[in-house]
Amino acid sequence: MEKVGIIGIGHSKFGRRDDVTVQELAFESFVEATTDAGITQRDIGATLIGASPVYMTQRSISGPITEYLGLNPQPVWLIEAACCSSASALRTAYALISSKMHDIVLVLGVQKMLENETSEILKIMGRTGDVQWEAPYGTTFANYYAMYAQSHMTKYGTTSEQLAKVAVKNHYYGSKNKKAMFQKEITIDRVLESQIIASPLHLFDCCANADGSAALIVASEEKAKQLSDTPVWISGLGASSAPFSLLTRPELSTLTSAVEASKIAYNQAKIEPKDIDVAAVHDCFTIAEIMAYEDLGFTERGKGGEFVEKAYIGGQTPINVDGGLKSKGHPIGATGCSQVVGIVKQLRGESGDYQVDGAETGLTLNVGGHGEYCVVHVLTR
């Protein structure tokens, strides 16, 4: 099978972006990506927008964005899979190119979340769970991950201090990332002294809602070699789902969708977890990163709380060294593409103060909702 490569990347500043419309926000990463790839709108055969429209006033948001970016009359599709919408869009782009339907595809993740009040965002995110049996009882996103944390602590003895260390690590690296929402380091004490949001999760165990966009130019092997001296190849793709309702999950100390998706991606790429040089994993809450260590096979089950010490640059597997969702912020439609942008920069040696020396193989884990969707990509230089 022909290879599929990423030849252009772009990333807006994440945060409260009251200075731009959603179209202008998309434009920021689009211009960076097309400039990076050395192409124009005419070279793009199709566009895939990863976004969750429920947060936006405009319906069918892919239409106004592609009009603003000058991409008509090329086809466009909106891909929605909660927090892993744009990772799912990248998977779809891979399929379009592998089928030879298109040879250059734009994948653009974008979200304007902060046009809504926090209370409204909490209600919307709570409805990511089952609206018949869960949401009516007041579930929020933090509630779901608090249940994961309680389960992991009960089963394996994971501590609040270990959760806090994830936040400290990711804010340390986020302080070096100029595109991150939060660019200040924090301490373990700061995390543990912050307000309890959903026990045992403190305020600093939780990522922030944000506005942002990230873009990828994806190309066939022939086009990638023509247009780029440094294409990054999509070597493995895994995707999986899990029961939508937590009531039907077999256990709450793991995301079975992440386990399954990573197995598929490793198998296609013909690698093992030990071969990953750098990873970007879904850390919407600190417990999510600890579960990811285990679900991806970086450490044995129950040892995730200890593994954070090995997830720094220079450790066994550097993880979220661009700050992760925790420090960058989490504009849910943009997060999947943002993770891929970070890994592409690592594999091209362009990450500056947070570069992993000699990185040749990277991984992204993007989770939708509270684990009902999961997409894993393995990327190689």
Q: Just list the catalytic residues.
A: 83, 330
Calculated CA dihedral for residues 18, 21, 24, 28, nearest 10 degrees: 40
Are 46 and 102 in contact by the 8 Å Cβ rule? The answer is: yes
Report whether 223 contacts 103 (CB < 8 A). Answer: yes
What is the DSSP code string of 319-339? B-TT-HHHHH-B-TTTHHHHH
Q: Report the length, in residues, of the chain.
A: 381
Contact 84, 333 (CB under 8 A): no
Strand partners, 5: 219, 233
- Amino acid code (one letter) for 96: L
Q: Which residues pair with 209 in a beta bridge?
A: 330
CA triple 149-150-154, angle to 5 deg: 115
Closest listed residue to residue 88, CA positions, set 245, 297, 331, 261: 261
For residues 222 and 41, give the distance between their C-alpha atoms in angstroms, rounded to a whole number.
19
Which of these, 284, 258, 274, lies nearest to 338 by C-alpha position?
284
Backbone phi, then psi, for 133, in 5-degree steps?
-115, -10
Phi, psi of 279 (to 5 degrees): -140, 150
Nearest to 121 by CA among 183, 77, 56, 201: 56
Q: Is 220 helix (H, G, I), strand (E, B) or coil?
A: strand
